[in-house]
Structure 1
Amino acid sequence: MIGRLGIDNVSPSIAEGTVPAKAVVGQVFPVSATVWREGHDAISATLVVRRPAGAEGGRAKITMTPEAGERGNPDIRHAFFVPDVPGLWTFRVDAWSDPAATWFNAITKKFDAGQDAEMMANDLEVGARLFERAADKVSRRHKPLMKEVIAVLRDESLPLAERIAPAHRPEVEEALNHRPIRDLLTRGVEHQVLVEPLESGFGSWYEFFPRSTGGWDDEGRPVHGTFASAEKDLPRIAAMGFDTIYLPPIHPIGKINRKGRNNTLTPTKDDVGSPWAIGSVDGGHEAIHPELGTVKDFAHFVTTAKNNGLRVALDLALQCAPDHPWASAHPEWFTVLPDGTIAYAENPPKKYQDIYPLNFDNDPEGLYQEVLDIVRLWISRGVRVFRVDNPHTKPTNFWHWLIHEIHRTDPDVIFLAEAFTRPPRLYGLAKAGFTQSYSYFTWKTSKEELEEFGSDIATGADVFRPNLFVNTPDILHESLQTGGRAMFAIRAALASTMSPLWGMYSGFELFEHLPVHEGSEEYLDSEKYELRPRDYARAAANGDSLEPWITALNKWRNDNPALQQQRNLHFHQTSNDKLLAYSRVDTITGNVIFVVVNLDSTHVQEGTVSIDFEAVGLAPRAGFDDTLGVNEHYEVLDLPTNQIFAWSKENYVRLDPHFQVAHILRFPDVPKSRRAPLSFRGGKTEEYDPRG
């Protein structure tokens, strides 16, 4: 339906408004819309924000401002709010005729054109009547001000300039902005925003296999680890600044078609098999591998992790080994071939003979409920984070149902989609409810690729939260195989500063880089098929560990709010394609981080970095005198070296990857006058309406 005034292109609007946009508590959420009308009268817009049901505070009305800049489109209006509690928020954009702005525009132009009081008599009376309307709306403290403006506008004894001067006083503008006169109010469509806790959008993940933590016996053979032995590694992981530990499946492993070392089909009796081949006579997805421990042991592990400031993320892999109890009890949950056998998983040329994929279409009611019960079981055991294996191979509506059911009772539970697939599927899973997702960062190595990728994830922040893993048990990128130790430092710097979410798989800090064969991204002696204990302490003592760099990166992320959000990534020009430069700004605290990375792990790279002053809060701006001129210098702190540099608009940079792979610079804070307010209100804000 077309309203009296036009309201178009409201953003964000996800899936034509059928799916909530995503936001994070304490971070700016921007809204824009195109508003228009016939004729030349002024039009304004208001962002109406409603808090979640049951939350105190009712709603807020935020006056939207026209698009800024010389090339800004005045029909496009912007506003923002900063949500302060999690839950389902709503917003809408209302358009309205602005008689005050129309009047101010008219009298200013006529006065500048030399018209006298007699010629402007009607305009003066229109203004007086306008302020009479305003006097009925403004707060009690502003009423005397309105009456004074009315009296002076009608005082024919005064010169024209003096009659209109009081109407232009700043306090009058403030009063009208606070309680504006709205004519022809046209209400927009309501849109939903799912606001989630900070940890939904900011975190550092560390993946490791508890079964590889048992060390070696006296003859140098690996010993199967337990939850108790895995607990001993938690302080080291926490000391590096990680907040989430991700465990591959911890369930019993099937023996039928079990894989041997390096994915062979000829296992020995000592081969432990792949954790993703879930299920045996010892149980299925509800059970724990006997060699890892008991349910009580797992509970102790979760508590120990919590005491170290770590959340436990568990792999939710909806697939089964041939000897999983479901295979005999519920064959209808699988795909049965014409010869009566159950189809195993394939991703040509890869074959997974030890895994049966589930079929969600034969008995959806039964299978859906079983999976829901399993997720709730692990939630009751202390798991609040699930890394979901290959969700793009299961029906999207199933995930939407499952996540919605879980969030009805446990809204803080996080679901990470391990989906390396095409963008429509990636974004489709995010729309279905996944909190986070893997991404194609692992394969983005050039400046052009990284800039395109970074721009995409920044603009997609309303729906898609990528977790940038530098490696996984399945992915050892060629750059890590051949780039030397500096490449590990480069990739960690990129992942941890380009996104508020990043992760790594154990062994990365030890520079593990050998593939099973040339051209493969599989690790030699992959931990997916065998125990792989590591001596982290010895490596650190010998200087063969990346732990100090990783620890520093996570500390800088925790200390700087600019690195804790997604939509604020802005790239800057460099004269060298091997140098990547970008900034991140937190408009609430004013915190600014500027990163320059040498993408070449073997050679020194140098060049000029050109700073976009506007992007980092240093550009001249109307009404502000706290900004820099083009040639003025300002101090920046290089966090890796703790050095202070004097920078200007154009800056020479030289990075030797053997000594320093990146500058991570803390710029001067954005001036306080240009920051967002610390509330869920933004822009020119009117009073809260407790009536909702």
Structure 2
Amino acid sequence: MTGRIPIESVSPVVDCGRTPAKAVVGEWMTISATVYREGHDALGCAVVWRSPAGLKQPFTRMTEVGSGTDRWAAQIRPDLMGRWSYCVEAWSDPYRTWRHAVVAKLDAGQGVEDLANDLADGAEVLVRAIRLVPKDDRPRVTEAVLALRDTGADLAHRVAPALALERLLWHHPVRDLVSRSSSQAVWVDRPRAAFGSWYEFFPRSESGHPAAEGRPEHGSFKTAAERLPAIADMGFDIVYLPPIHPIGVVNRKGANNALVAGPDDPGVPWAIGSAEGGHDAVHPQLGSLDDFDAFVARTRELGMEVALDLALQCAPDHPWVREHPEWFTQRADGSIAYAENPPKKYQDIYPLNFDRDPKGLRAEILRVVTHWIEHGVKVFRVDNPHTKPVNFWQWLIDQVHAAHPDVLFLAEAFTRPAMMKGLAKAGFTQSYTYFTWRTSKAELTEFGADLVASADFMRPNLWPNTPDILHASLQHGGPAMFAIRAVLAATMSPSWGCTPASSCSSTSPGRPAARSTSTRRSTSCGRETGLPRRRPGTPWRR
């Protein structure tokens, strides 16, 4: 409580106001608070809210949620992207106090002598109200003042004009003892942040032509674009592309995580960077940057948009390794440490160290993200964000949103609940969840309740499967189970996604391809199934 009238339990408030709540443009958002005062005088409450430009919005009066609950609420509807703010104001309402008393005395049969002071008090309140109401309504209020003071009229005619002002003075009240809550923030995204269906799509798996003599053909942005109308026809909103950058040659892994790659092994897309470029480059076999621009444009023509994977890790031959060795962890022998999750080793991945040159590394990552935004990317699926500092993500998202408030970030973090929710509070637009491993009615009920409890700051995006996650229920349930899980994902959350068979990372039928990040490695992913083989029911350990 911060003023004369107590204002408590304001909602939505995330972590005592340290991070904004979330909403989207056009969404009705409920603001509520517990407000009460001593005695029997009437009080009023309102939401005072401001746009990202600091402009005060229309006065939004709150109503009590159930008589006697002292819980007040109102709905606001932001119409611009960006950081909004609001507070709750409460006040003593002398007109409503006066009106309640007069009506009660009239109902009790009291006469003009009994109400003499009430009539005078009412006139004084209405004199104050004249300057608060719109100009067109001021004559009504003036007439009510004159009627209250007209000793020649009967009691009913003296009070009737003043009692009739109830609706007008609800919207334009006389306010005493005004008290305010602390200001709270709400980040407002574009509507796509709240709902959408995602289709994971590997362009290199879409050659558009059958393999010649059993040899795989690498797809490109041009051939992959031929698949886009079919994706649009299925009703998907977002075409998510795993990393499209050059793939490392040094320590390249082969099929099924083999330590030595064969001459035709394409490598792992998440092992980013080679002599051909890094995070701001396009894999040559996929085409040029102009080809990527054309792919993005075609996607938009079909009513969809591209989401690009943002995987902040490097192959050993990434240009950053040569130009900025200070961005990596160096071992005692002077070598750069590759990714490990003991006893697992990922020799083709060098994790970034965000503590050695945070200023330089942050500036470069912001440059990369801005580069892709300038090429039409407005959605980023962030790989393994829980392996990077949370305050880095808060900084990066704030920096991007300052110039591009329409950019969305999906956190791909299957990890501990505190970290998942912490990333959402840091600014991630959407979050992966434990949906994949929740299969029984009891598990799904508990899971759904937890999503509702976190709804002010965490938007779930449910995925039945990914290239490296295949639950036992899908392994053994057949096509029907895939349909069931897709329906559950699409109805339990406004946002959901899937990895279909044609979007696996293999380049030809029967040709396995491995995927690695700093903390995980998939097994095989053949075109026949589009899904990896893995131990039933076991989530990937992070």
Q: CA deviation at 1:126?
A: 2.2
| Segment of structure 1 superposing worse, 527-536 or 199-208 | 527-536
Q: How does 1:443-462 map to 2 (within 5 A)?
A: 443-462=437-456
> Aligned partners of 1:459, 1:127: CA distance in 2, in Å?
46
Output the CA distance in 1 between the equivalents of 2:170 and 2:199: 49
Residue 392 of structure 1: how far off its partner (Å): 1.0
Alignment of 1:570-649 (within 5 A): none
Alpha carbon RMSD of aligned pairs, Å?
A: 2.8
Q: Distance in 1 between matches of 2:344 and 2:40?
A: 66
Conserved? CA contact 2:200–2:503, under 8 Å? no
- Give the counterpart of 2:61 among 37, 60, 63: 63
Residue 115 of structure 2 corresponds to 120
Cα 1:482–1:151 change in 2 (3 A) is same
Is 1:135 the counterpart of 2:130? The answer is yes
**In structure 1, distance between residues paired with 2:346 and 2:238:** 29
Find the aligned partners of 2:529 and 2:476 in 1 and give their Cα distance: 23
Q: CA deviation at 1:350?
A: 4.1
Q: Which residue number in structure 1 is paired with residue 535 of structure 2?
A: none
Give the one of 192, 198, 210 matched to 2:191: 198
TM alignment of 1:254-653, pairs within 5 A: 254-348=248-342, 350-507=344-501, 525=512, 528=515, 532-533=526-527
Letter in 2 for 1:206: Y
Q: Aligned residues, how many?
A: 518
Contact 2:512 2:525 (8 Å CA) reproduced: no
Distance 2:123 2:497 in 1: 63
Task: Work out the CA distance in 2 between the residues paired with 1:509 and 1:532.
Answer: 10
- With normalisation by structure 2, the TM-score equals 0.88
- Look up the match of 1:51: 51
For 1:80, the aligned partner's letter is: Q
Q: Is the 8 A contact 2:199 2:499 kept in 1?
A: yes
1:245/1:450 Cα in 2 relative to 1: closer, same or farther (>3 Å)? same
Contact 2:413 2:431 in 1 (8 A): yes
Whether 2:172 is the aligned partner of 1:179: answer yes
Amino acid at match of 1:380: E
Distance of 1:387 and 1:349 partners within structure 2: 28
Query: Structure 1 residue 114: deviation in Å?
Result: 4.8
Alignment-derived partner of residue 605 in structure 1? none
Between the aligned partners of 2:361 and 2:77, the Cα distance in structure 1 is: 40
1:30 is matched with which residue?
30
**Aligned CA distance change for structure 1 residues 19 and 485 (closer, same or farther; 3 Å):** same
Question: What is the CA-CA distance between 1:198 and the residue it aligns to?
Answer: 0.9
Amino acid in the other structure paired with 1:128: A
2:89 alignment partner, one of 90, 94, 97: 94
1:76 to 71, 76, 81: 71
- The one-letter code of the counterpart of 2:71 is I
Distance in 2 (CA, whole Å) between partners of 1:325 and 1:289 is 14
* Matched-pair contact (CA < 8 Å) for 1:488–1:508: no
Contact 2:2 2:179 in 1 (8 A): no
1:11 aligned to 2:4? no
| Separation of aligned partners in 1, 2:502 and 2:16 | 42
> Counterpart of 2:45 in 1: which secondary structure?
strand
Q: Report SS of the residue matched to 1:456.
A: helix
CA contact (8 A) 1:273 1:530 kept: no
Tell me how far 1:247 sits from its aligned partner.
Answer: 0.8
Following superposition, the deviation at residue 504 of structure 1 comes to: 1.1
SS at structure 2 position matched to 1:30: strand
Deviation at 1:63, TM superposition (A): 0.8
Q: Distance in 1 between matches of 2:168 and 2:151?
A: 25
TM-score norm. by structure 1 comes to 0.70
Aligned to 2:507: none
| 1:145 has 2:130 as partner | no
Counterparts of 2:292 and 2:22 in 1: how far apart (Å)?
33
Q: Percent identity?
A: 56
Structure 1: segments with no counterpart, 5+ residues: 511-522, 537-692
Residue equivalent to 1:653 = none
Unmatched 5+ residue regions in structure 2? 505-509, 516-522, 531-542
For residue 76 of structure 2, what is the amino acid of its counterpart?
A: F
Match of 1:237 among 228, 231, 235: 231
Instruction: Measure how far apart 1:135 and its partner are.
Output: 3.2
Summarize the Cα distance change of 1:140–1:463 in structure 2 as closer, same or farther, 3 Å threshold: same
> Does the Cα contact within 8 Å between 1:46 and 1:64 map onto a contact in 2?
yes
Rounded Cα–Cα distance in structure 1 between residues aligned with 2:113 and 2:69: 33
What residue identity is the alignment partner of 2:17?
Answer: G
Please report how far the alpha carbon of residue 246 of structure 1 lies from its aligned counterpart in structure 2 after TM superposition. 0.8
Residue identity matched to 1:414: L
The one-letter amino acid paired with 1:193 is V
Contact 1:36 1:75 in 2 (8 A): yes
Distance in 2 of aligned mates of 1:438 and 1:121: 67
For 1:65 and 1:249, locate their aligned partners in 2 and report how far apart those are by CA, in whole Å: 51
* CA pair 366-150 structure 1, distance change in 2 beyond 3 A: closer
CA contact (8 A) 1:343 1:356 kept: yes
